[in-house]
A and B are shown apart, each in its own frame.
Chain A
Amino acid sequence: MTARRFHIGDTVRTRAHGNGGHTRIPRYLRGRRGRIVALAGSFPLADDRARGVRDAQCTAVYSVRFDAVEVWGPECDANVTIAADLWESYLEPEHA
């Protein structure tokens, strides 16, 4: 596997669009800004496995935390966070 692109504390934005097939980024977290709070190992990309790619390479997975307001808007309970474990290719760098 290659070096990790992101580190704990980095601000990232999830990609807005999927790749048309199976993916593990939930729709409600697309195009959202979050922060990496932990490393979540290195695993074959689920999207590749679902397409039957043989020997899919392990890539980095990150635990990304989102404020509920970022996900659901200003009317929601602001004292809530949602974290998901997302593969590196689902993420783009974002200025904090």
Chain B
Amino acid sequence: MSDHDHDHESSAALSNRVKTLVAQLEQRDLLTEAKLDATVETFLLKATPANGGRVVARAWVDAAFKQRLLDDASAAVAEIGIDMSHWAPVKLRAVENTDREHNVIVCTLCSCYPIALLGPSPAWYKSAEYRSRTVREPRAVLAEFGVALPPDVRINVWDSTSELRYIVVPRRPQASEGLSEAELAALVTRDGLVGTALL
């Protein structure tokens, strides 16, 4: 899919808006630039798809953890030291792929995405094309990502319209027996966690 279908503000205009906003917050003693830098750095350093990989690998090797993950994902990821709450009070839900059902995540209203578990979202996730077509013709969109699903596999699309964020628990790759949990985690890709790739 192409990356940019929506209008982007020029980076100069955006940068000016951010500077103005930061200046206003500093004037009101709500923020210092140093504190802002520290927050952004800490958050971005911790926010990578490796977190999602750890969660999925644990679910593959530990059935009880997988059940807790599917029941209450925010609590389950906290068990392995991942904090979903960061600056917004979002909750996490995990949805599991099986041989009968495939899940895919989208945000049609904007671009909600579990950054803490996947890192910053790719440009295509935010594109008008992905956001509109994934709910209208998900099987065709997935085929364009190289995910060819037989017609009898049901596709469940999750549109993130409120304060829940979603991750997909992909099917464990065949021939992955005997791998360690860390090795399994390395097999998990960002797109697999969004549902736009198989592992």
Contacts and interface: CB of A to CB of B under 8 A. Distances in A.
B152 A26 contact: no
Contact of B161 (A71, A81, A85): A85
Contacts of B139: 77, 80
Interface in A14-59: 24-26, 28-29, 38, 40-41, 43, 46
Contact of B160 (A29, A76, A80, A85): A85
Interface residues of B, number: 24
A41 B164 contact: yes
Contacts of A43: 89, 162-163
B151 A79 contact: yes
Given A24-B109, A38-B93, A41-B91, A79 B154 contact: yes
- Chain A interface size, as a band, is 20 to 34
B187 interface: no
A37 B135 CA distance: 18
Contacts, number: 76
Contacts of B137: 76-77
Contacts of B151: 77, 79
A81 to B, nearest CB: 5
A43 B161 CA distance: 12
29 contacts: A24-B161, A25-B161, A26-B161, A28-B135, A40-B91, A40-B162, A40-B163, A41-B162, A41-B163, A41-B164, A43-B89, A46-B162, A61-B162, A61-B163, A61-B164, A63-B164, A71-B135, A77-B137, A77-B138, A77-B155, A79-B154, A80-B138, A80-B157, A81-B157, A82-B159, A83-B158, A84-B162, A85-B161, A86-B161
Interface of B: 89, 91, 93, 108-109, 135-139, 151-164
Interface of A: 24-26, 28-29, 38, 40-41, 43, 46, 61, 63, 65, 71-72, 76-77, 79-87
Given A28-B108, A80-B139, A82-B159, 9 more contacts: A28-B135, A41-B91, A43-B89, A77-B138, A79-B152, A81-B157, A82-B156, A83-B158, A86-B162
